[in-house]
Amino acid sequence: MIVLFQITDRATLGEEALFDRVRRAAAPLAIQVRDKDLEASRFDLARRLLAAARPLGHRVIMGGAFEHARGLDVDGVHLGASRAREVRAAKSAFRFVSVACHDPSEVERAAGEGADAVLVSPVFASPGKGAPVGLTALEQARAVVEGQGASCSVVALGGIDPSNANACLAAGAHAVAAIRADLVAWARALGSTLT
């Protein structure tokens, strides 16, 4: 069971630190290649992450236009909320599809389309991401997913760190995602309590 998503962002987390987290993480870790401004070189980053992550049991997810990720052999894709209607098309090419969501109606749409996960954000204050939706949004998202009978994971994103990650799980998230915070030790500790 994936409990931690590491999202790439070269402006806040250098490649050395990213690959260090990949090496230290207990399997499975989901790594979402997000760097929207890299375009061509983010495909190179995805290839290098695949080479480092696959032997460790981790999964690599490509953010953005899934059409461009078809030749990469990534494990899945992440779509923006405005592309939720494309989940079924993405699922025809990838094993895993996640969707960014900011309110219950977006969660309902993504889960209804068959998304494997919804990333609810920003749960807590996060630079440049607007007002936080809070832990209540995770409770609401979980209720929506369960109400639909969907097999869709709720993932908390935005301002998540070791001090509040457990609260996200308690509020209904199945997993947490981070860009800045190093949650590898937290996930390892949690993993030892799950077994």
The pLDDT tens digits along the chain (195 residues) read 789 999 998 888 999 999 999 999 987 899 999 866 656 788 899 999 999 999 999 999 999 877 778 888 999 999 999 999 999 999 999 999 999 999 999 999 999 999 999 999 999 999 888 899 999 999 999 999 999 999 999 999 999 999 999 999 999 999 999 999 999 999 988 875 543
If you write DSSP's letter for every residue of 20-84 in order, what string do you get? HHHHHSPSP-EEEE--TTTTHHHHHHHHHHHHHHGGGT-EEEEES-GGGGGGGT-SEEEE-GGGG
Contact yes or no for 129/137 (Cβ under 8 A): no
What amino acid occupies position 62?
A: M
Q: Burial letters for 12-44: b for 16+ Cβ neighbours within 10 Å, e otherwise?
A: ebeeeebeebbeebbeebbbbbbbeeeeeebbe
Q: 161-188, pLDDT tens digit by residue? A: 999 999 999 999 999 999 999 999 999 8
User: 4-194 has which CATH code?
Assistant: 3.20.20.70
Q: Where are the domains of the chain?
A: 4-194
